[in-house]
């Protein structure tokens, strides 16, 4: 959950960063909708033949980077496609299209995700789920919001009644382990949902559309913004065994359910790839 006390200086800085990030995320989303053809061309693959990047991933990130540099030229930027640039105390964490396969196939669950760190702490997050016209926002200590409504995650849901979102990696070995883990999770929960965008899944936790989320493999740009949004909606967001969220494993749910989900997953050694 979010820290109970946030200084006025941090709150003021975070509010301004959210406002700028939202403007940029909306502009990137409008560009992507306008330029997306019936089937976007695959530009390259990343970790495996199923892990694709399109020309519009590149274009979206370049637009976002340009707008950040115009407004705040001294800030650092970490982007999924362009890597890390700069070394300022403020760092932007950008996923230009989270859910690229959904984008490629014309499925609605993809998003533009922008988070901002100040001195190593994420203080602002925006996730624009473009096809649904939904822009989720959060500032550290100021709550999570969607269309003027403050978000609250579901609470008091036991594991056996929980709707849990998850996702899968791209390498065959990792997928085999994830299928093994999933087979142990499914009998213990209400049901599983696989949306295809980690950022959107975390916002779904914040909005109470699912009760929890876990996944092996998401990177900083996948979960930085959505994780803050979920935490500001009252969820616990982290990794296994007290670690912060990380590519090894990321979990998110209301306190109580988080601990139950952790207790189910930890003995399965879900961070392995074979």
Give the start-end residues of each E strand in the chain. 42-45, 52-54, 76-79, 83-85, 90-98, 111-118, 121-129, 134-139, 144-146, 149-150, 163-165, 191-193, 212-215, 236-238, 250-253
Residue 160, marked binder: no
CA distances from 134 to 10, 137, 156 (A): 26, 10, 26
Residue 119, marked binder: no
Residue 89 CB coordination number (10 Å): 11
Residue 51, marked binder: no
Among 105, 83, 108, which Cα is nearest to 204's? 108
Residue 97, marked binder: yes
Categorise residue 33: left if φ over 0, alpha if ψ from -120 to 50, beta otherwise. alpha
Residue 87, marked binder: no
Annotated binding site for Mg(2+): 80, 95, 97-98, 222
Going by the annotation, the residues of the binding site are: 80, 95, 97-98, 222
């Amino acid at each position: 959950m979010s820290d109970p006390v946030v200084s006025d200086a941090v709150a003021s800085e975070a509010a301004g960063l959210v406002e700028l990030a939202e403007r940029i995320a909306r502009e990137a989303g409008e560009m992507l909708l306008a330029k997306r053809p019936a089937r976007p061309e695959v530009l390259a693959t990343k970790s495996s033949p199923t892990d694709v990047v399109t020309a519009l991933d590149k274009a979206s990130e370049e637009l976002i980077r340009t707008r950040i540099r115009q407004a705040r030229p001294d800030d650092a930027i970490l982007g999924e496609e362009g890597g890390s640039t700069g070394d300022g105390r403020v760092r932007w964490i950008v996923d230009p299209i989270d859910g690229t396969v959904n984008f490629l196939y014309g499925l609605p669950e993809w998003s533009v995700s922008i988070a901002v760190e100040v001195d190593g702490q994420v203080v602002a997050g925006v996730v624009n789920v473009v096809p649904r016209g939904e822009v989720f926002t959060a500032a550290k200590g100021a709550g999570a919001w969607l269309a003027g409504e403050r978000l609250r995650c579901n609470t008091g849901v036991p594991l056996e009644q929980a709707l849990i979102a998850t996702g899968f990696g791209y390498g065959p070995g990792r997928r085999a382990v994830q299928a093994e883990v999933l087979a142990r999770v499914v009998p213990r929960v209400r049901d599983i949902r696989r949306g295809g965008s980690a950022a959107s899944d975390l916002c779904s936790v914040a909005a109470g559309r699912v009760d929890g989320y876990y996944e092996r493999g998401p990177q900083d740009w996948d979960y930085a913004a959505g994780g803050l949004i979920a935490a500001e909606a009252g969820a616990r967001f982290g990794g296994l065994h007290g670690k912060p969220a990380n590519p090894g494993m990321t979990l998110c749910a209301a306190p109580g359910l988080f601990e139950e989900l952790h207790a189910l997953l930890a003995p399965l050694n879900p961070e392995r790839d074979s």
